[in-house]
Amino acid sequence: MELVMNASLPVKGVMLLLVMAVVASWWIIFAKWMSLKQASISAKKFEETFWSGVDLHRLYEKLSKEKGKSSGMEQIFEAGFREFLRTRKMSQSDAKATESADRSMRIALNREIDVLESHLPFLATIGSISPYIGLFGTVIGIMISFHALSNVTQATIALVAPGISEALIATAMGLFAAIPAVVFYNKFNAKVERLYNQYDIFKEEFSSILHRQTGS
């Protein structure tokens, strides 16, 4: 702590920037962990309900009444079935109805994935630039330390060491910010990919059900 307090003003500025990056990234990590966990639980619960033999019209009506509460797989089902009923009523064509349902489910799926991927680019950015920001602070600190030696008649390691130690803290803080961001970015990306595959499989299965029911 003493080294941080004794650091030069530019190095302190870099450290402050890195502290802000750490706080922001951990806030995103916690929020994203909870949202992805909830999405996974919600998808599993909905699949169990869907494949339990429940009447699709009743399931759709139930979800329609819970406006703003459904997400993930529920949104994909609701979007597809709503478009299927609307198009079937307007055109009297089962083939057009199933095609429209396919398109609506694809759009809903992409929207849900966009939500799941939100803020992940920020983690990637923190993981990429934090080491360089820390290195920049270290370079600035070392430059200031060596510049201070210009006024000294006899330079010793004892005079240089404190300044270099202060500067190296910036590099350590840069790594401290970057490593968790990179680890959790990769972890969350893999989780989003699994959810995408789960949603996509459900979309294809539900589309097949509609095709079989309409004979199209």
Backbone angles phi, psi at 133, to 5 degrees: -65, -45
Distance, CA of 89 to CA of 77 (rounded, Å): 18
1-5, 17-21, 119-123, 193-197: range with lowest mean pLDDT: 1-5
Looking at residue 216, its pLDDT comes to 55
Contact call for residues 87 and 104 (beta carbons, < 8 A): no
| pLDDT tens track for 22-37 | 999 999 999 999 999 9
Q: Which residue has the higher pLDDT, 111 or 8?
A: 111
| pLDDT tens track for 70-110 | 778 999 999 999 999 888 888 767 788 888 999 999 999 99
Confidence check: pLDDT of 3 > 60: no
With a CB cutoff of 8 Å and minimum separation 6, the contacts of 134 are: 14, 18, 170, 171, 172, 173, 174, 175, 177
Looking at residue 150, its pLDDT comes to 66
Percent above pLDDT 70 for the chain: 85
Total tally of structural domains belonging to the chain: 1
pTM (2 decimals)? 0.83
Looking at residue 87, its pLDDT comes to 87
Range of the domain at 71: 2-214
Distance, CA of 104 to CA of 77 (rounded, Å): 9
